[in-house]
């Protein structure tokens, strides 16, 4: 797929989430969308639309949904995201509908790793910030694998727990770690890598990095389970 094709597909994937000022498909019965795959790896995009936190509307992490679905196309992993604004912020509320659906997916499809995608402002000094609750939620070897995947595609300022450590008990990462006992990382992506219209090359570097992460960790899990 060339850059222009990728940009066009990203636009198509993001469009339903951009509806109604990024409140998504407000007439949808369920606020949650799922796309099933065959690999033991789940991409989560809880802030793909505007979310409500303590009666305040917070901006969507734009293009996180498109990023997830582009990667799903290439890797056949599983995806879950918010498709319309609801009464909960899935990455803040304790419990909630999103986490219940997440648990169901993980248990029914033998998922062994969750990558929770988020968007950070361009004012942040990092390219990528890995939230691991200061090393609790993931093996150090997997942290190195993730960092090397980004490095190999020209994304070099990859930090761990720099600004977003995912320590709040309502985060997806904290929930997956404490309740489901499988590895999970909160992946904060600087907005300069989420601008397919104005910087298609940086967007492609991000996509290719996460494809490599998804495929490498999926293969590790599949090989372990075959033994």
Q: What is the pLDDT of residue 227?
A: 67
Range with the lowest mean pLDDT among 30-34, 85-89, 221-225? 221-225
- The verdict on pTM exceeding 0.85 is yes
Number of residues in the chain: 227
For residue 53, give the nearest of 88, 99, 21 by alpha carbon.
88
Sign of CA dihedral 55, 60, 64, 65: positive
Domains of the chain: 3-226 (3.40.630.40)
Which residues, at least 6 apart from 224, have a Cβ–Cβ distance to it below 8 Å?
A: none
Q: Express each pLDDT in 64-105 by its tens digit.
A: 999 999 999 999 999 999 999 999 999 999 999 999 999 999
Q: At what angle do helices 200-226 and 140-151 cross, to 10 degrees?
A: 150
Question: CA–CA distance from 71 to each of 66, 125, 175, 178, 206 (Å)?
Answer: 9, 25, 23, 27, 10
Return the number of other C-beta atoms located less than 10 Å from residue 125's C-beta: 11
Q: From the CA atom positions of the chain, what is the Rg in Å?
A: 16
For residue 1, the model assigns a pLDDT of: 74
């Amino acid at each position: 797929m060339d850059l222009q094709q990728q940009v066009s597909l990203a636009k198509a994937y993001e469009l339903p989430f951009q509806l109604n000022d990024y409140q998504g498909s407000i007439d949808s019965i369920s606020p949650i969308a799922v796309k099933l795959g065959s690999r033991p790896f789940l991409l989560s995009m809880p802030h793909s639309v505007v979310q409500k936190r303590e009666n305040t509307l917070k901006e969507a992490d734009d293009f996180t949904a498109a990023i997830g679905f582009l990667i799903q196309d290439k890797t056949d992993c599983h995806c879950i995201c918010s498709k319309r604004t609801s009464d909960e912020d899935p990455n803040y509320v304790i419990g909630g509908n999103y986490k219940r659906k997440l648990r169901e997916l993980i248990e029914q499809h033998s998922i062994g790793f969750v990558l929770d995608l988020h968007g950070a402002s361009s004012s942040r000094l990092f390219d990528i910030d890995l939230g691991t609750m200061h090393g609790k939620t993931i093996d150090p070897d997997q942290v190195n694998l993730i960092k090397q995947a980004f490095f190999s595609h020209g994304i070099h300022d990859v930090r761990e727990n720099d600004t977003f450590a995912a320590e709040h008990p309502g985060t997806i990462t904290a929930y997956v770690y404490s309740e489901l006992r499988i590895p999970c990382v909160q992946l904060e992506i600087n907005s300069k890598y989420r601008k397919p219209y104005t910087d298609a090359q940086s967007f492609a570097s991000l996509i290719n990095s996460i494809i490599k992460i998804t495929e490498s960790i999926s293969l590790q899990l599949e090989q372990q389970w075959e033994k």
